[in-house]
A and B are shown apart, each in its own frame.
Chain A
Amino acid sequence: MDDENLLDEEDTQKDKYLAFTIGKEVYGIDIRVVMEIIGILPITTVPEVPDYIRGIINLRGKIIPVVDMRLRFGQEYREYTDRTCVIVIEVDDMLIGLIIDAVSEVMDIPENDVVPPPKLRESKSRYVRGVGKLQGEEGRVVLLLDWKRLFSREDVKALGAMQGDKEETSSENGGNDK
């Protein structure tokens, strides 16, 4: 793809978000990182990873990890249903599948309708880049995910370490031999 095409594409995808729901909240993720949306596939569990990483799936020969976003955001696990979807996104050349409750729509949120999240201590808003207001629907908002931060190597590492510690105290088997 040459630069011009790329620019064009960037342009048409600008301010477009794929909206999905987790519980009652509506989240949005830049359409540009979304590769595809699939139904739930058989998941192979991987040992010794945080429980929000459900495992890996085989997507037409590609092996990609799947993350349960409910668990990732500290909510309760819920059995997967027909409505459960996996959004496959590409971050830093990695493909990652996000398990979410349901996909709703692709929406346009101009940049000036996005307000930064409040600066709260200890909150998941760390992963929210901004809150988008929906035109014409007073009071409805979309939490725009900061996918870069959500899956950055440092963050993953930090979380992994935290999780590892937790495991170590809770069970004998979670030993990390570092």
Chain B
Amino acid sequence: MAEHEPMVEVFIYETRDFLARLEELALKSEEAQSFAEDDVNEIFRAMHTIKGSAAMMMLDDISKLAHAIEDIFFYIRELHPKKIDVSSVTDFVLAAVDFMQNEINVLDDGGKPSESSQGMRDASEAFLRQMKIDNGDDPDVDLRKVKGASSSSAKKESGGAAAPSPAPVPEPPPQYYIGAAKQEEKTDDGSLHVYEAVLNFDPGSGMLEVRAYTVVNSFQGEVKEMHYLPDKLLEDPEAADKIEKNGLRLYMTADQPLGEIKKKLEKTSFLVGLNVRELKSTDECAIWPTRADVAKAAAEESEPIVPKVPEVDGAKSVPPAVKASTEKAAGPAQRKEHESQVISVKVEKLDRLMDLVGELVIAESMVVQNPDLKGLEIENFEKAARQLHKINGELQDSVMSLRMVPLEGTFKKMNRIVRDMTKKLGKKAHLLFKGESTEVDKTINDHIGDPLMHIIRNSIDHGIEMPADRVAAGKPETGTVTLAAMNSGGEVILRIMDDGAGLDRDKILSRARERHLLTKPEAEYTDQEIYHFIFAAGFSTNDNVTEFSGRGVGMDVVVSNIKSLGGSVSMDSDPGKGSTTTIRIPLTLAIIEGMSVGVGSARFTVPISAIRRSIRPKPGEVFKDTDGREMIMEDGECCPVVRLDKIYGIKDAEQDINRGILMLLESRGGGLFALHADELMGVQEIVVKPVPKYISYLADKTGISGCTLLGDGSISLILDAQILGSILK
């Protein structure tokens, strides 16, 4: 990730949030085959915010695209058209989300987003036009430009609405923008004052329109109703000049006295002139639009502030479909509250904190186990040391928990994959989540997405049958893929279950035979082992390469990604009933339990999770083959013996194999091998540190995955059983 200015960073962060939410909403709506009113509002708002902030970042194509999508939802929200092709609308939203996501990624990588969204915009405009025609509305009437024409009248007077017809101002349209929120009272109400405020900014401060926008935004909540000149702050390229010349003119109705308004406005930064006066009525205002105009202007300018939709008469025209799905999603108002309690912290800062805690743990043991203390009777010291140890432990736990994030976000992304695939393949499937609130380390969360995606693709492509076949097999037409997560000890277990056809044992076996993957007689293979073949690189049972599968990449990516997280994958299947993929990953990567072993004067650490068991071989148990390679029979397998001193050239190591100890480790691909060490020195929690880059450039396949500091300050190298095993071959 490139370094950004704070503003760009905030933009990227916020926009990503919005895009994720948009995708979620779009998928939810598609599933319900209707747009709930809350969702329409939220999509509209999100697009609107993206539009505004993208315009500020000079990302015109994003901004214009957001505007085009916003148009569709503006139409849906205002006129409640009866015929909405929810799938197509969703397609547009998703396509737009993808486009923006790509552009944001480019921006994040330090590039300059330059893709044009013209094609997409044209398509969405054409679509909107068609939708209007289908619903009997005049497609040429730009809603935002129609003055006075209101939602319900526009439906009937198709065509005639182009001319402003203020006469039949009907029920106020359900719009809640600046001030319009409280439009029930008439403004000249005795308790309300009408003010005019003229703000002049220091022209040297730059970005006047943005400053004005900030004022408007922060002030709108304070007063009943507010309008301002120039009326297009962000869209109008000349806004800054106008503000510089005439100042920002605010017209508002409020129940606060003049002094209070003045005081609040005075806090604005870079203000060089402020003039607030009270007007007799709104008629004196240079701008005071009618309610219909409010809606129109607001749609273009401002942030809606009241997301909740009060019941107005107009709501009667809400199509039943919309009404039906008034499912209580996390309302925007609720989410606001959450936001205020959350701060976003850069991961680097957390990593730094984590490092420091790691050092603290080491420093602690350096003090407490200091050789100078040996043999001393120091009861009070030990008491204090225990206290320190306890606090350190808690500190470590809470720092670790800072890095923990729920899997929910990653899970939800899978919805999109299921949707896209089922749509293209003509299958029906839906995704169920279980335990999505399970928390894992951020690094894990970031790396689990790809493997999950491949497994789910595989499930849908190979597992779930075509709807007709499913019905014939007596299963529900729509298949179910379940994504479940749970904590178990120090591990997270992820299960991906589908109720499809299951794996074809014979087909996999025959394909494995063709590819010469079999290493022992076929009859000796267990089902599990056979299923494991699908994780081999280049393995595919699909004869045709499709967009989604058949190339054989994918599942091997799953294994290597999971392995790099220190986890494991296994596969199980019940023919005709479905298959289950189980992933096990350690909860955290930063601190692991390791067995410290000594080879000569060198110290190595082997992750406990990699050790199956350790054996002290009896004389004669270790035998040599014709090439002089040592082996031992364990678990019915012939395991090669690896001597660390030989592969790493350690001179002062124990040579007599019977005096050392053998650790049985599992190598990549599942084979066992025995690692010979002089002695086991005990299990301890270690803080994993990466090998310095300079060394990892040179030695990327030495079987060393990291290093750690021992209690006495010396360094121990962490061995990677996977790689060690493969070095043998």
Task: Name A's B-contacting residues (CB within 8 A).
Answer: 42, 44-50, 53, 56-58, 60-61, 63-65, 94-96, 151, 153, 156-157, 159-160, 163, 171, 173, 175-178
Contact = CB atoms under 8 A, between A and B. Distances in A.
Contact of A45 (B602, B647, B709, B726): B602
Interface in B667-720: 689, 691-695, 697-699, 701-702, 704, 707, 709, 713-717
Given A47-B702, A177-B726, A61 B355 contact: yes
Classify the secondary structure of B's interface with A.
mixed
A53 B715 contact: no
Contacts of B324: none
Q: Which 7 A-B pairs have the closest CB atoms?
A: A47-B648, A160-B698, A61-B359, A44-B715, A48-B702, A65-B692, A65-B694
Contact of A157 (B362, B697, B717): B697
Given A47-B648, A173-B646, A63 B707 contact: yes
B695 A44 contact: no
Contacts of B714: 42, 44, 58
Contacts of A96: 692, 694
B729 A177 contact: yes
Interface in B96-147: none
Contacts of B694: 53, 65, 94, 96, 151, 156
Given A47-B647, A56-B715, A151-B694, 17 more contacts: A44-B602, A44-B603, A46-B691, A46-B717, A47-B648, A47-B699, A47-B702, A58-B714, A61-B355, A61-B709, A63-B709, A64-B692, A94-B693, A157-B697, A159-B698, A171-B649, A178-B701
B727 interface: yes
A45 B589 CA distance: 24
A34 to B, nearest CB: 16
Interface in B626-656: 646-649
B713 A58 contact: yes
Contacts of B693: 94
Given A56-B715, A57-B715, A48 B699 contact: yes
Contact of A58 (B646, B702, B715, B717): B715
Contact of A156 (B603, B698, B709, B727): B698
Contacts of A47: 647-649, 699, 702, 704
Interface of B: 355, 358-359, 362, 602-603, 646-649, 689, 691-695, 697-699, 701-702, 704, 707, 709, 713-717, 726-727, 729
7 contacts: A47-B648, A53-B698, A64-B692, A96-B694, A157-B697, A160-B699, A177-B727
Contacts of A50: 698
A50 B647 CA distance: 15
B628 to A, nearest CB: 11
B528 to A, nearest CB: 28
Nearest to A64: B692
A45 B599 CA distance: 12
A56 B648 contact: no
Contacts of B691: 46, 56, 63
Contacts of A151: 694
B699 A61 contact: no
Nearest to A160: B698
Nearest to B648: A47
Given A44-B715, A177-B727, A177-B729, A63 B699 contact: no
A44 B697 contact: no
Nearest to B708: A63
B57 to A, nearest CB: 23
B707 A173 contact: no
A171 B707 CA distance: 26
A151 B698 CA distance: 12
A178 B701 CA distance: 8
Given A45-B602, A47-B704, A177-B701, A65 B695 contact: yes
Nearest to A96: B694
Contacts of A175: 727
A48 B648 contact: yes
Residue of A63, A94, A160, A163 with most chain B CB atoms under a 10 A cut-off: A63
A21 B648 CA distance: 32
B362 A61 contact: yes
A141 to B, nearest CB: 29
A2 to B, nearest CB: 14
A171 B369 CA distance: 41
A64 B692 CA distance: 6
Contact of B695 (A56, A61, A171): A56
Residue of B691, B694, B701, B717 with most chain A CB atoms under a 10 A cut-off: B694
A146 B535 CA distance: 47
A173 B699 CA distance: 14
Contacts of B709: 58, 61, 63
Contacts of B603: 44
A63 B692 contact: yes
Residue of A46, A49, A56 with most chain B CB atoms under a 10 A cut-off: A46
Nearest to B726: A177
Contacts of A94: 692-694
A58 B698 CA distance: 20
Contacts of A171: 649
Residue of B648, B693, B695, B714 with most chain A CB atoms under a 10 A cut-off: B695
Nearest to A46: B695
Residue of B358, B704, B715 with most chain A CB atoms under a 10 A cut-off: B715
A49 B695 contact: yes
Contacts of A45: 602
A45 B649 CA distance: 10
A96 to B, nearest CB: 6
Nearest to A57: B715
A60 B355 CA distance: 12
A101 B713 CA distance: 25
Given A61-B355, A65-B694, A176 B701 contact: yes
Contacts of A177: 701, 726-727, 729
Contacts of A58: 709, 713-715
A173 B727 contact: no
A56 B603 CA distance: 13
Residue of B693, B701, B709 with most chain A CB atoms under a 10 A cut-off: B693
Residue of A48, A64, A157, A175 with most chain B CB atoms under a 10 A cut-off: A48
A13 B697 CA distance: 30
A63 B706 CA distance: 10
Nearest to B710: A58
Contacts of B602: 44-45
Contacts of B649: 47, 171, 173
A176 B703 CA distance: 11
Nearest to A92: B693
A58 to B, nearest CB: 5
Contacts of A95: 692
